[in-house]
Amino acid sequence: MNDQIKYLLQESDIPTTWYNLAADLRNPPAPVLHPATHEPITPADLLPIFPENIIAQEVSTEREIEIPGPVREIYKQWRPSPLFRARRLEKALDTPARIYYKYEGVSPAGSHKPNSAIAQAYYNKVAGVKRLVTETGAGQWGSSLAMACNFFGLACEVYMVRVSYNQKPYRRAIMETFGAKVTASPSPTTEAGRALLAKNPESSGSLGMAISEAVEVAAKDPDTKYALGSVLNHVLLHQTVIGKEAALQMKLAEDEPDIVIACTGGGSNFGGMAFPFIGEVLRGERQPLRIVAVEPEACPSLTRGRYAYDYGDTAHLAPITKMHTLGSTFVPPGFHAGGLRYHGMAPLVSQVVEEGLAEATTVAQLESFAAGVQFARAEGIVPAPESNHAIAAGIREALKCKEEGISRAILINVSGHGHFDMMAYLDFIGGKLQNYAYPEEEIAMALAGLPNVGDV
């Protein structure tokens, strides 16, 4: 029996280009609108918050976009990331399924986020920017950008969603170790933050609020730009190194995935894994396969949100995009997968689900942690709470294989490790975690506030 567990690529196998799904989609992405005028946004509108090179990438329809040399050099520190066959998990589940997982937790910051953080820091450096400001939920993005800014000599400022700031002091610590300035959001340091605090001084924050604060800070200082860790096209683009490598590694394993699974909050981890596979399907180079986006039960934009134009942030400073949304004022309950607490979804991810190229499902908090503990005991890796959503969905599929007596190849994207989320694991083991119901009323209220953009 071939009992190989790791499929390792060479440095020369690190992709030399990112894959741009926009080149292969049958329908062009819906135009992005200005938050004030509701008119299609122009590159010039975006200049206060993004440098020109990133704006160009955001709207590019080129299929393959070259990864700059200095970015690829830094990728080499941890890429190609390993693809594992989860043989011990298969045994624990007693399933005929062939479970593979791509593990992005080997990056120094512990998740897939540096794939884009390094690229964004590089482009900003090239454009002469001095400081980057961003938001972070779980802290995976914030710590990645803090690290990347160091590498390129940029200052870094992070607005961290308050519930995560309180739940995850170690995440703040790693950002500060990297020299970043970290502020709990909503904060009194911005107009947006002060307005939110005036409405609710106890606000636990949300990604939407933190984005508002960060965008405001960037827009006010010509030497400062904003960096976003998900949602936008260029961010998902940078993450496609994951799926590109995984496709190569599945070939090394002499196998092909029947199901590809990733968690999705803003969509960068899902898009990074799924888009290269979807692209191959669209170009007729691969048989159609199931691609599954997994979101938390309590923040289910893809499965229960509306596909509509909505604001990207709470204070309506960020562009309006067409996406699955729960309403920009919706504040998700304080579950532990902070990276999945966003009201919207990447427009490109929304579009592939809308066009039937991918499906979506939800997992509740307790099922996600049970899956994480089972995975940790079998594989030795303690996954991030976000990743646990993908693992839970993967376990469901593996058990279905057992029930049906069918062996399918399941490829799971494990976005990162949970080293900074161990209190959540302790609470889960101690029976202190709960499920959060679908917040029906809050979402209905938030959806009532969708912008009236007319006929675009």
Q: Which residues bind a second copy (CB under 8 A)?
A: 3-6, 8, 10-11, 73, 76-77, 84, 88, 106, 108-110, 114, 147, 150-151, 169-170, 172-174, 176-179, 373, 376-382, 417, 419-420, 422-423, 425-426, 429
Using the minimum distance from each CB to a second copy, give the nearer residue, 18 or 75.
75
Compute the least distance from the CB of residue 13 to a second copy, in Å. 11
The CA distances from residue 220 to 32, 38, 164, 280, in Å, are: 22, 22, 26, 42
Q: Name every residue whose Cβ is closer than 8 Å to that of residue 36 and which is 6 or more positions away in sequence.
A: none
Tell me if 165 sits within 8 A of 122, measured CB to CB.
Answer: no
Report in angstroms how near the CB of residue 155 gets to a second copy at its nearest.
12
38 or 87: CB nearest a second copy = 87
Helix (H) or strand (E) holding 182: strand 181-185
Q: How far is the CB of 372 from a second copy (least distance, A)?
A: 8
Residue among 55 and 182 whose Cβ is closer to a second copy? 182
Q: What is the DSSP letter of 104?
A: G
Nearer to a second copy, 10 or 287 (CB): 10
State which residue, 38 or 181, has the beta carbon closest to a second copy: 181
Question: Could you check whether the bond before residue 80 is cis, i.e. omega within 30 degrees of 0?
Answer: yes
Q: What is the DSSP letter of 82?
A: P
Rounded distance between C-alpha atoms, residue 16 and residue 19, angstroms: 10
Q: How far is the CB of 427 from a second copy (least distance, A)?
A: 9
In the complex, the smallest distance separating the C-beta of residue 402 from a second copy, rounded to whole angstroms, is 21
Contact of 307 with 287, CB cutoff 8 Å:
no
Task: Tell me whether residue 7 or residue 270 sits nearer to a second copy (CB atom).
Answer: 7
Distance CA 166, CA 197 (A): 17
Summarize the chain as % helix, strand, coil (round to 5): 45, 15, 40
Complex with a second copy: residue 170 or 438, whichever CB lies closer: 170
- Is the CB of 120 or the CB of 329 nearer to a second copy? 120
Phi, psi of 73 (to 5 degrees): -60, -45
Compute the least distance from the CB of residue 239 to a second copy, in Å.
18
Indicate the residue type of 343: H
Q: Are strands 409-414 and 259-263 parallel, antiparallel or unpaired?
A: parallel
Instruction: For the CB of residue 106, give the shortest distance to a second copy in the complex, in Å.
Output: 6
CB of 8 to a second copy, least distance (A): 7
**Structural contact between residues 93 and 399, judged by C-beta atoms closer than 8 angstroms:** yes
Minimum distance of a second copy from residue 190's CB (angstroms): 24
Q: How far, in whole angstroms, is CA 426 from its chain's centroid?
A: 25
Rounded to the nearest whole angstrom, what is the least distance from the CB of residue 443 to a second copy in the complex? 32
For the chain, what is the largest distance between any 2 Cα atoms, rounded to a whole number of angstroms? Answer: 64
Report DSSP state, residue 41.
P
292: left (phi over 0), alpha (psi -120 to 50) or beta: beta
By C-beta, is 4 or 61 nearer to a second copy? 4
H/E stretch holding 170 reads: helix 169-177
Residue closer to a second copy (CB basis): 14 or 247: 14
Closest distance to a second copy from the beta carbon of 131 (Å)? 16
CA distances from 315 to 39, 158, 186, 190, 351 (A): 18, 17, 11, 11, 25
Nearer to a second copy, 293 or 382 (CB): 382
SS3 call for 310:
strand
Interacting residues of 44 by C-beta distance below 8 A, sequence separation 6+: none
